[in-house]
Amino acid sequence: MDLENDTHISEILLLGFSEEAELQPLIFGLFLCMYLITVFGNLLIILAVSSDSHLQTPMYFFLSNLSFVDICFTSTTIPKMLWNIQTQSKVITYEGCIIQVYFYILFVCLDDFLLTVMAYDCFLAICHPLHYMVIMNPQLCVLLVLVSWIISILHSLLESLMLLQLSFCTDLEIPHFFCEIKQMVQFACSDNFLNNMVMHFAAGLLGAVSLVGILYSYFRIVSSICGISSFQGKYKAFSTCASHLSVVSLFYCTGLGVYFSSATTHSSHSNAVASIMYTVVTPMLNPFIYSLRNNDINVALKRLFGKNTIKGLFFER
């Protein structure tokens, strides 16, 4: 590799999953289907929430925001990968790579914060039902989402600006299907100590705060559910947050799995494959989890499109 630094490189190569030509149509078809399912499924959730007056509650307000973020999250990486496969090119411009890093970090942070806010919403609904509507008023709901956006934008902006300060070698090749910031920093030819320190500190701080908040919320929720005497009451209380608990488990399990796999394996291609669970599969499964386990969403979708149409899209409870 040429060790001469060049901050103004014009192109970066994304090596993707495999260089075998016969596998490219299979990869293209698989990711195109996953992307369309993600976009279509999350759009259905947004349409259901916005069109049904019964769903104008804090829980579904946060859910519709999560669906919007998931659409943006997958749209940050998958369309470019599909375009590269279709054109048989691995090139992304330096500016495009920085933009992809910015939006990737932005939407990962938003996913994290929105899941934390939804856990807090479940906690109030189960543990403080009499004060729920007073505490979770529309102003607070909008404020929580707005603060999540502001923190995520600032964090993403900081990481992207620091990335711009690095110098890269002229033949930069990333063994991934998108511009992942850890590998960008790793392949920098200039000193990347400050970037690594800020990246890990910010990820640890934001991730730890969110995870602790979620764990505390569900600890209190489980304690409250165990205190309910009737089985029917326990089932009703648990079903209120079952969908969200499933999404949280999927998000953090896949995210931590990718993190630890990248720490233990030396294969960058293995890390790229593992990232599919975190960046593609989780946003795709979220609408199915909420539609399959949430009767309110099913009813809203049936009202929106008609029972016969929806029956072919989602299984009924």
The pLDDT of residue 237 is above 90: no
Residue 315's pLDDT band, with cuts at 50, 70 and 90, is very low
pLDDT, mean of residues 129-150: 94
Residue 40's pLDDT band, with cuts at 50, 70 and 90, is very high
- On whether residue 32 sits in a domain, the answer given is yes
The tokens describing 19, both together, are: 């260089």
Inter-CA distances, 29 with 35, 82, 216, Å? 10, 9, 41
Q: What is the pLDDT of residues 150-184, one digit of tens each?
A: 999 999 999 999 999 888 776 788 888 899 888 88
Residue 293's pLDDT band, with cuts at 50, 70 and 90, is low
Q: What is the pLDDT of residues 175-219, one digit of tens each?
A: 888 998 888 888 888 888 899 898 888 888 888 888 899 989 989
- On whether residue 105 sits in a domain, the answer given is yes
- On whether residue 316 sits in a domain, the answer given is no
- On whether residue 263 sits in a domain, the answer given is yes
Q: Is the pTM of this model over 0.85?
A: yes
- On whether residue 273 sits in a domain, the answer given is yes
Proportion of the chain above pLDDT 90, given as a percent: 37
Residue 313's pLDDT band, with cuts at 50, 70 and 90, is very low
Helices (H), the chain: 24-51, 58-86, 94-127, 132-135, 138-164, 181-186, 193-226, 231-264, 268-276, 282-293, 295-305, 307-311
- Range among 126-130, 139-143, 234-238 with highest mean pLDDT value: 139-143
- On whether residue 166 sits in a domain, the answer given is yes
C-alpha–C-alpha distance, residues 160 and 154, integer Å: 10
pLDDT, mean of residues 268-294: 78
Inter-CA distances, 182 with 73, 105, 179, 195, 198, Å? 18, 11, 9, 9, 12
Residue 10's pLDDT band, with cuts at 50, 70 and 90, is confident
- On whether residue 97 sits in a domain, the answer given is yes
Per-residue model confidence (pLDDT) at position 5: 43
Q: What is the pLDDT of residues 68-108, one digit of tens each?
A: 999 999 999 999 999 999 998 889 998 999 999 999 999 99
The pLDDT of residue 275 is above 60: yes
Q: Which domain holds residue 304?
A: 5-311
C-alpha–C-alpha distance, residues 260 and 279, integer Å: 16
C-alpha–C-alpha distance, residues 160 and 96, integer Å: 12
Per-residue model confidence (pLDDT) at position 277: 78
Residue 304's pLDDT band, with cuts at 50, 70 and 90, is confident
- On whether residue 122 sits in a domain, the answer given is yes
How many domains in the chain?
1
The pLDDT of residue 262 is above 70: no
The pLDDT of residue 24 is above 90: no
Per-residue model confidence (pLDDT) at position 310: 44
SS (H, E, C) 258-285: HHHHHHHCCCHHHHHHHHHHHHHHHHHH
Does residue 259 or residue 245 have the better pLDDT? 245
- Tell me which amino acid residue 191 is: D
The pLDDT of residue 35 is above 70: yes
Q: What is the CATH number of the domain that holds 21?
A: 1.20.1070.10
Describe the crossing of helices 282-293 and 24-51 by its angle, rounded to 10 degrees. 40
How many Cβ atoms sit within 10 Å of the Cβ of residue 222?
14
Residue 294's pLDDT band, with cuts at 50, 70 and 90, is confident
pLDDT, mean of residues 108-113: 93
